[in-house]
Each structure stands twice: as structure tokens, then as C-alpha cells.
Amino acid sequence: AHAERYKLRYPFSVRNLLNLYDLYEKDRNYEKSLPLLDQILAIEPDNLRAKELKGEAFDENFEI
């Protein structure tokens, strides 16, 4: 509940959004957790943690 209220006051706090994502994931509330990753990436497109959680992270130096 506190993280939700904090989100209302500070909607661009990536740290809080990641915390809220983790809380929703632990509750298996995927309808609320997955859109948070999109919000995080809209604020910080290069956020590695959000990219990893969404499955978009890759190593640019990786060769096949």
C-alpha cells in the first residue's frame, strides 16, 4: 500500500517502480507487474534491470 501511494506522489521514481514490480511478482499479480516494466523503460530506456526482467537485455559484445 505504501509503494502504491508513493507511486501516486512520485510516478517517475524508478527505484519505487522496481520495488513495486518485485512486490507484485511475489504475489503473482502479473497484470499489475508487467506494465510497470514498460513504465520504467519509458522513463529510463537503458535500465538494465528492467530490460533483464522483460527479457530484452543482451550483451552487445556477444558473438556467435
The Cα–Cα gap between 48 and 64 comes to 22
pLDDT tens track for 20-56: 999 999 999 999 999 999 999 999 999 999 999 988 6
Categorize the per-residue pLDDT at 57 as very low, low, confident or very high, splitting at 50, 70 and 90: low
Task: Give the global pTM.
Answer: 0.80
- pLDDT over 60 (residue 10): yes
In sequence order, the 6+-apart residues with CB closer than 8 A to the CB of 8 are none
In sequence order, the 6+-apart residues with CB closer than 8 A to the CB of 30 are 24
Buried b vs exposed e over 41-53: b needs ≥16 C-beta within 10 Å?
Answer: beeeeebeebbeb
Categorize the per-residue pLDDT at 9 as very low, low, confident or very high, splitting at 50, 70 and 90: very high
Give residue 55's pLDDT: 86
Q: Letter for the amino acid at 53?
A: L
